[in-house]
Structures are given as C-alpha cells and as structure tokens.
Structure 1
Amino acid sequence: MVNVLSLREKLLKETFWSFATKGISFSLYFLLNIYLARVLGAEKFGAWSFFYSILTIVLLFSYFGINSSARKYVAQYNRDIELYNILKSSAKLRLMFSLFFSIVIIFIHRPLAILVGRPEFASFFLLCAPLILLAGLVEFLKAIFMGLHRIKYNFIINFIEYGLKLLLVFLALKLSLDVISIINSFTIAYFVASTVGFYLLWIKYFKRNNAKSTDGFSKEILKYSIPLFFISIGFLIATEVDTLMLGLLATDTEVGIYSVAKQITIKLPHISLAIAMGSMPVFAKLNKDNKESLKKMFYKLLKVNALIFSTISLVIIFLSWYFIPLIFGIEYLGSVLPLQLLTVYLISYSFSIFLSTFLDYQGLAKKRAFNLLICVILNIGLNYLLIPLYGAIGAATATSISYLPYVCLNWIEVRKFLK
C-alpha cells in the first residue's frame, strides 16, 4: 500500500512538472511563431517554414534514434548501479553522431540547397553546422531527464531554450529582418540550454557516482537506436513531408498559410506528451506482478486524452475562423480550413504518443516501424496527388488521412501485449 501511494505521489509530482514544461514550451514556441508570422508576412514566413522543415529533417537524421534509445535504457536502469555507465555511453554516442552530421552539412550545404531548388539556402545550411551539434545535445538531455523521471530539469532546459529563442529573435529581427538572424538566435539558445543541462547532469549524476567505469552499453544503446532511427525517419516523413512538398509544388505564401495551421496541431499534442512524460516511464518495468494495475492505468490515460482532445478539436472546428485572424492577422484567414481538417491528425497524433511510448518501453520499436512505413507511403502518395490540386487544403487532408492507419495498427499491438 505504501509503495502504491509513493508511486502515485511521484507520478503526480512528475506529471505536474511535465505540464509545466510543456506549458512553458508551447507558450513560448507559439509566441515565437506568432511574432515570426506577423513580422515576416505570409510569403517570407512560408520561405522560413520551408527551410526549417528541411533543417528538421537534417536534425532528425543526426539524432539517429540515440536519444530515444538512451531514454529507454535510463528508465529501465534508473537507480541501478549501471546507470552511470549507461549515461556515459549514451552521452558519448550522442556527441559522436551530432559532430559527424555537423561536419556532413559543411560538405553538402550547397548540393542540398540545389536539390531542394533553393540555391539561396546554401549559406543558411552552412551556418546551421554548430546548431545541428547543439540541438542534438539539447534533445539528448531532454530524453535523459525524462527517462530519469527528473522532469523539473527538463523544465529548466525547455524554459532556457524557448525563452532565449523568443527573446533573441525579437531583438535580432529588430536589427535585420533575415533568416541568418533567426539561425544565430537559435544557435545561441541551444548553446546556453545544453551548457546548463550538462551542468545539471554532471552535478546530480556523474560527480556523485562511484561506480566502476565501463563502456559496455554503447553497443546495446546503438543497436536499439537503429529501429528507432528508422521510426524517426518515418515519423519525420509523416510530419514534414506536407510542408516539404508544399515548398516544392506550391508557392511560399501557400506554405506560410499552411504552416500556421500545422504549428498549432503539432504543438497541442504536447499536452499528451506532458502526461506521458510524467506517467509512462513506469511501463519500462512492466512485469507479471504489476501488469493488471499498469493496464488499468494505461487505459485511464487514454480516456483522459480522449476527453481533452475531443474538446480541443470542437473548439478548433467552431472557433478557428475567429482566433486565427485575431492572433496571426487577416493575411492568414486561409489557414482556417486546413486547421479544421488537421483536427483528425491532431487526435490521432495525441493517442500515438501513448501507444508509441508504450511499445518503445517494451522493446517493440520494430513493430511500430513497420506500421509507420504504411503511413509514410500513404502520406507521400496522397500529398503528391492533392497538393497540386488543392494546395494547403490538400496537404491537410493527406496528412490527416495517412496518419490513421499508424495509430490503429499501434493500438492493435498494444492490445495484444496487454492481454
């Protein structure tokens, strides 16, 4: 009984910090995008969104699934004597891969810009070399503190990252209204956030640990990161192919209009992520003794998520015509219908956070990798057909339809495991 109460108290505490983390991240990120959309205008904001979509793809390649793999092992061995070695091995892998991809972008920045049909992006990609290194470290720290169930440190990192991004972009664009100013602002924010994050990790975990140092977990972490890497690539295509294909097949203005709707639907599921951050790590230690209690807990989480996002979706459907022009400006009135169509994706994505995290913690990443492949093929095909005809509306329709099979198939896998 005492263990149950202590677990409940811990989950409530961590869930509080999860909501605080995602609340501050969403608020600052949302304010940043409102500012960029208003200051740059639909066409320039569309060009920035297209560039940032490509950069996001590069970043996810550089992560190589290591962050998620490290999170799984850290959660599994939390409070274990081997935790120190897991942290050391995963940090070493993270630094190696981030450094490698930072060097790669230096060599391919010009061919990449030509490949996407935007030669003017070449200097931007080159400038992003240090950003790629630092962003990988920041996301690694977030994953580690999530696995350690130390979400308050996650809060600190997110507050520094997004707070500095907003502040520095605001100041930089007052001096020069260009993409270089935004990139430099982001790089500085990542540098400060990673410095503080590694200081916390060192003080709280490395400095106090007297365990014998070995490097025996590097192969295990890397091995499990491979299916997670392919999942991240699939997820990347599922979430970024719409913006990418709009940039290739439509105008910058169309991309800008769609990006407003997309940014809202991408960030709202952070409510689900906040709940998952505070509650899902316990499923890494699921066994025969606690299976029934954790099963009930998991279903309860899904019910809460359903209530939250059905309410949010209704608000979007009936009130987006009012708050989109009010917040972003009348120039973005065309974002209303794409946003309404994306509510299907919004609900699906919110549930996939719980289902995907559950499968990852059970070592079933390969299962959802196959499920995601179906989503990716469908997404590319539908976007290719619908974007030339309907622009942003076509992209929203394709994204919403293609994500449904992924969620349904993951749900089937989770149900099988919990039987």
Structure 2
Amino acid sequence: MNIKSVYNKIVGSGNQEKIIKGVFWSFLGTLISKGFAFLALFLVARLLTVQDYGKLGLLQSYINTFTLFSLASFGVTATKYLAVYNNEDKKKASEIFSLTRIFVFGLSTLILILSYFFNDAICEYIVGDPKLKIEVLICSAAIYFSSLNGLQVGALAGLQNFKSISIVNIVNGVLSLPLIIASAYYYGIKGVVVSLAIVNFSIWICSAFLLKKELIKNQLYFTFKNLKQHFDTLYHFSLPSFLSSIMLAPVVLICNSFLIKYNTTGYYELGIYNAAFNFSQVGTILIGVMGQVFYPMAMQNFGKNNKKFNFFNINNSYIIGIIIFLPIISLPDLFASFYGVKYENQSMYYSVMYVGLSSIVIAQRQGIARNFAAGNFMWFSVFSNLVWAVSTIFSCYLLISKGSVGRSLAFFIGYITNTLLFIPFYINKKLIEKELLLSKEHLLLVLCIIASNLVFVFIDNIFLRIIISVISLIICLMIFKVWFKNYIKNG
C-alpha cells in the first residue's frame, strides 16, 4: 500500500475529507495564533502589576467591543452566503460580498473618526482613566484593521480555504509573541497596545493578499452594481446576527466598568479576573478550529437527516470544552500558580473555577448557535442573547462587591439562566434534537461536571484531586462514546 492510498483512506471523501483537511489547517493556524497570544498575555501578566494588567484587560475589551461594532457581523454574513452561493450563483455571491465589504469599510472608518473626536469621553466613561488618552487612540487603529481583517477571514471561511486562514493566524501568532512581550517589558501598557495595532495591520495586509488570490480562483469579483436588491439579506441575517453577537463585548465592557467604578480595588480585581479569563482562551484554540470548519458545513447540512454530522456539529465543541476545562475546575489553584505568587489567592482560584464552568456551557451552545444561523433564526438569537445580557449585567451589579469572583460568577449565572430558559425553544424549532440535549447521557455529563466542581471545594489534597480529575475525564469520554452509539442506533 503506497503513501497516497494510505492518505486517501485516512482522509476519505466528501464531508469527511472537508472536515479533516479543514481541522488540520485551522488547528495549525489557531494553535499558533491563540497559543502564542495566550503565552504572550501569560508572560505579560507576570511582567506588569496586577492593577496594570487590569487596565490592559479593559483596553482589550474596548478593542473587542468596537471591532464588533465595526464588523457588524458582516464577516459571518460573508461566510454564510459565500458558502451557499459560491458554486451555485457566482454573481449573487460577488454582489453580497461586495455589499458587506462596503459596509464594513464605511463603519470602520466612521468609528475610527468618532473615536478620535470622543477620545476624552471614552477615557473617562469607558476606560475609567483619563491618563490613557494615547493608549485609547492607538486602540482605535487596532480596531480599524481588526474589523477589516475580520471580514476577509470570514470570506475565506465561506470559501472553505482554511489553509489561507491558517497562514493569517500563523502570522498573527509569530508577530504577537515577541512584539507584545518586548513592548510590555520596555514600555508597559502603551507598548502592548502599539504592538496590537502593528499586529492587526500586518494580518490585514496578509489576509487581503490571500483573499484576492482566492476570489480570482473562484471567479468572484467586487462590484457596485445590483447591490440594493440584497439589502433584504442584510436585514434578515446581518442585522439580527450583529445585534445578537454585539451583546457579548458590550456586556464585558459594562461589567468591567462596574468593577473599576463600584469596587474600591477595582483595577486589582479586574487584573485577577483577566488572568483567570485567559484560561478560557485555551479552549478557543480548539473550539475555534472546529467552529471555522463546521460553520460553512452547517449552512449546507441544516435540516438534513445526517445523524453523524448532527451529533458532531452539536457536540464537537462540548467534548473539547470538557476535556480542557474539567481539570481546570477541579484544580484551579494549580493553574493559578502558573502566574506567580501574586495570583495565588482564593479570589483567583474561585474566579478560575467559575470561568471554567462558563466555558463548558459556552462550548455546549456552539453547535446550537451555528444552527441559529443555518436555519435563519437570527432574530430569535437576538432575543436569546438579550436575555443573557440582562441577566449577566444584573447579576454582576448585585455581586460586584465580591470583586473578580462576583464578576466571573455573574457570567456563569447569565449563561445557565439563558440555556435553561430557551431549552423548549431549541427543541421546538429543531435547532437541536431532543436526544442531543435531554438524555440520560447528557444528565450523567452534567453530574460529572458538578462533581468536579465540588472536588475543589471539599478536597484539599491536590494529588487526590488530580487522580479524581483524570478518572472523571475518562468517564466523560466514555459517556460521549455511548451517547453517540445510542443516538445513531435509535435514529
């Protein structure tokens, strides 16, 4: 048997081939990008004071929030409609992508101009420190290029060119690690935000070049003609998608602002929370990989009776989330020790634990979120996320006196509340099959997660907790295996 036949046997064909190739390239790029970014922020946390790390986290949430405003979910729109129409209708695919490109450029430019004129107000009311004027201005440049890059990467995902996305992510990671660490060491917060602007500019250039090649290859083009007829697409998909996704970043920014305004040690507590939250970024490495690959495929397979695809579309992120975060919620003190002595305290431990629990809930919802988009239920998604936003902000306001622990617990409460309230809707609209949500296997998984959480609360011996964590992880994987077999057999 030669190498080519072995390769064909492993990779297979059809969806299997697309998934394996997509996962490989997405994993490679995302591992380097997110992995290096996590390592950079981890080292920066050791270089800066806890208070300065809190300020840096607030600036990052400012960048993330206004990048979402600039991008306005047009990256997701490009992904969906290029995936759907690239092979069926080149003209329609070109027109919709051209429209999204014009809107993103216009919104990004508008926000860049407004951020310059309202710099003082942003520093005072959003960032909470008038001394950070220059840093906020530099962040505005990072927002501009990050938005443009987001659209281009979304288009590459729609064309299922995960190799190009991988190259963009590799450039991101390779530039980020040395630039951020060196700038933090020599210039503190200001140096880090300058590095972020340089990195975002660089990856925008890279993704623009790669996207141009891919558009030419697929015979797609930029045009100003016949764009009005696609405004209906923007209303029914882009607008609700934007309103749905925009909930997250502003809620993060609002809760961060609560922390610095209503807690006497706000920046310190925010520094603790940001360090704890960095562990959730580890999960996004693999969850983001699977999401990039499964998103365009979910657009094409929604409503079809493909049992294997349905199971893995819903549960692939959930499996990854449990593998990564089950040990973290059992051993938060062990993971916190990586940051050094200044982060070894009860606030950090419980913040890490609640962040881990929230991350598992988020991972479980990823497949449902893809089906929201595939089934054109984006206006319902807006309402769902609004419920989450209100419950999270309200919880954070009530718990803000507890600092970073209250901040992380509020997000967990928001996600759990939203999930429980919308279970009937998910099933009724066939966003998820009942067997993939309300089953004895899922109940056992939930019990394992709860038990892992209680392990830290009631058992002090770290070696015993490590053993229990490994056993729990093995049990969870066995449950997933049984769940898959029963689901396929009963189908």
Quick check: TM above 0.5? yes
Query: Aligned partners of 1:198, 1:34: CA distance in 2, in Å?
Result: 30
**CA distance in structure 2 between the aligned counterparts of 1:68 and 1:167, rounded to whole angstroms:** 31
Aligned equivalents of 2:232, 2:333: Cα separation in 1:
50
Q: Report the TM-score, using the length of structure 2 for normalisation.
A: 0.78
Q: Which residue is equivalent to 2:109? A: 99
Is the aligned partner of 1:333 residue 2:344? yes
Residue 283 of structure 1: how far off its partner (Å):
2.2
Q: Give the whole-Å Cα distance in 2 for the aligned partners of 1:24 and 1:360.
A: 28
Q: Is the 8 A contact 1:241 1:380 kept in 2?
A: yes
Cα 1:264–1:139 change in 2 (3 A) is same
2:411 is aligned with what amino acid? Answer: T
Q: Does 1:181 align with 2:194?
A: no
Residues 15, 279 of structure 1: 8 Å contact kept: no
| Structure 1 equivalent of residue 444 of structure 2 | none
Structure 1 contact 53–244 (Cα < 8 Å) conserved: no
**Equivalent in the alignment of 1:252:** 267
CA separation of 1:108 and 1:265: change in aligned 2, threshold 3 A: same
Is 1:265 equivalent to 2:280 in the alignment?
yes
1:67 equivalenced with 2:75 (yes/no): yes
2:338 counterpart of 1:317: no
TM-score (norm 1): 0.90
Correspondence list, 1:300-379, <5 A: 300-325=312-337, 327-334=338-345, 335-379=348-392
Is the deviation greater in 374-383 or in 156-165?
A: 156-165
State the SS of the aligned residue for 2:79. Answer: helix
Q: Work out the CA distance in 2 between the residues paired with 1:139 and 1:241.
A: 23
Q: In the TM superposition, what is the alpha-carbon distance from 1:195 to its structure 2 partner?
A: 0.8
Displacement of 1:253: 1.1
Higher relative contact order structure (alpha carbons within 8 Å, sequence separation ≥ 6): 1
Match of 2:100 in 1: 90
1:169 aligned partner = 180
Which residue identity does 1:336 align to in structure 2?
Answer: Y
Structure 1 CA distance for aligned equivalents of residues 107 and 260 of structure 2:
28
Counting only pairs closer than 5 Å after superposition, residues 20-419 of structure 1 correspond to structure 2 as: 20-80=28-88, 81-82=90-91, 83-116=93-126, 117-177=128-188, 179-206=189-216, 209=219, 213=223, 214-216=225-227, 219-223=231-235, 224-250=237-263, 251-286=266-301, 291-293=304-306, 295-325=307-337, 327-334=338-345, 335-388=348-401, 390-408=402-420, 412-418=424-430
Moved more, 31-40 or 404-413: 404-413
**1:269-325 CA-partner distances (Å, limit 9, x unpaired):** 44223112212312212466xx111x5412234344443333333311232212321
Q: Partners of 2:142 and 2:315 in 1: how far apart?
A: 39
Range that drifts further, 351-360 or 166-175:
166-175
CA–CA distance in structure 2, aligned partners of residues 307 and 181 of structure 1: 38
SS in 2 for 1:292: coil
Secondary structure of 1:385's aligned partner: helix
RMSD (Å), alpha carbons: 2.3
Q: 1:344 to 1:287 in 2, by over 3 A?
A: closer
User: Which of 21, 44, 58 is equivalent to 1:13?
Assistant: 21
Q: Tell me the SS of whatever aligns to 2:246.
A: helix
Q: Say whether the 8 Å CA contact 2:123–2:129 is kept in structure 1.
A: yes
Taking a change above 3 Å as real, the CA distance of residues 330 and 255 of structure 1, as seen in their structure-2 partners, is same
Alpha-carbon offset, residue 243 of structure 1: 2.9
Alpha-carbon distance in 2 for matches of 1:308, 1:283: 18
Query: 1:204: how far off?
Result: 2.1
C-alpha distance in structure 2 between counterparts of 1:99 and 1:37, whole Å: 32
Alpha carbons 2:80, 2:299 under 8 Å: kept: yes
- The AA in structure 2 aligned to 1:8 is Q
Contact 1:359 1:414 in 2 (8 A): no
Instruction: Assess, with a 3 A threshold, how the Cα gap between structure 1 residues 212 and 187 changes in structure 2: closer, same or farther.
Output: closer
Does 38-47 or 402-411 show the bigger shift? 402-411
**2:439: which partner in 1?**
none
AA aligned opposite 1:310: I
Aligned-residue offset at 1:61: 1.6
Deviations 1:64-116 (A, max 9, x none): 22222222212221223223333322222221111111111011111121223
1:173 is displaced (CA, Å) by: 3.2
Partner of 2:160, secondary structure, is coil
Q: Confirm or deny: 8 A CA contact 2:70 2:104 kept in the other structure.
A: no
C-alpha spacing 1:287/1:143, structure 2 compared with 1 (3 Å): closer
- CA separation of 1:90 and 1:227: change in aligned 2, threshold 3 A: same
- Cα offset for 1:198? 0.8
Could you tell me how far 1:347 is from its partner in structure 2?
A: 0.9
The CA deviation string for residues 302-361 of structure 1, in whole angstroms up to 9 with x for no partner, is 344443333333311232212321x21111113221111222211111122221122112
Structure 2 residue ranges without an equivalent (≥5): 1-11, 434-491
Query: Contact conserved, 1:273 with 1:353, CA < 8 A, in 2?
Result: no
For structure 1, the residue ranges without an aligned partner over 5 or more in a row are none
> 1:174 deviation in Å?
4.0
Q: Is the 8 A contact 2:30 2:285 kept in 1?
A: yes
- Distance in 2, matches of 1:39 and 1:218, equals 50
Identity %: 21
Indicate the SS of the match to 2:247: helix
